[in-house]
Amino acid sequence: YTYDMLKEIANHLLERTELRPKVGIICGSGLGTLADQLTDVDSFDYETIPHFPVSTVAGHVGRLVFGYLAGVPVVCMQGRFHHYEGYPLAKCSMPVRVMHLIGCTHLIATNAAGGANSQYRVGDIMLIRDHINLMGFAGNNPLQGPNDERFGPRFFGMGKAYEPRLIEKAKEIARQIGIENELREGVYTCLGGPNFETVAEVNMLKMLGVDAIGMSTVHEIITARHCGMTCFAFSLITNMCTMSYDEDE
């Protein structure tokens, strides 16, 4: 996607809504109902947005929803794009650049993930403190190819990819609403999917310090940080990874 193509998408949206979002939210699998909490809504099906891919996964509606959440102007992605759908990582994370171009300074990414940390339980929420970009280790990065300085620099740090102040704020809110016992903080990794991990792969990832495993988010955060956006993300632990050959999948 060239800068001009992304600018065309951004302009298409801005011409059709008066709302100017400051926060972009990516709703993970089964988490799209967050958009139902928005007020003064303008929504756009992906099929109606020029150059936009379509979401092919169950539980992903395929819609951009503009509105207010607790008085803050936001835009929600109800349905993201995954590498296993056949999309290159640059296309999977393209909506993040669109969010940046329409004025978003912050990104909140959510996902459904498998728990690799044996202390976790299904239903826990893991605040993502950091990630391991295994797909990047294999030479697959959303920023491959010529760099456009209008988005960000060629080389940039990822030392604080996930804003520590927002992590602490989330912990504070969890205590206030009484879910601190279900709240975790850990390291996430993204694999290509669509198959789940082998027992050997889970054990390897645990040795690397991984607490939760999914198929998204990492490339979106990389793209957002390249644009200078402030990021926060969490995983809903929807299953425990298979950690021994005696377990049923």
Question: Is 80 one of the annotated binding-site residues?
Answer: yes
Q: How many residues would you count in the chain? A: 249
Ligand-binding annotation for 11, yes or no, is: no
Q: Is 29 annotated as a binding residue?
A: yes
81 in a labelled binding site: yes
d(CA 154, CA 156): 7
141 marked ligand binding residue: no
Tell me the two tokens of residue 172: 């504070």
Residue 156 among known ligand-binding residues? no
Q: Of 230, 229, 247, whose CA–CA distance to 239 is shortest?
A: 247
Residue type, 108: I
> How many degrees, rounded to 5, is the angle at CA 86 between CA 240 and CA 203?
30
Binding site as annotated, residues for a purine D-ribonucleoside? 197, 239
Binding site as annotated, residues? 29, 60, 80-82, 112, 197, 216, 239
Binding site as annotated, residues for phosphate? 29, 60, 80-82, 112, 216
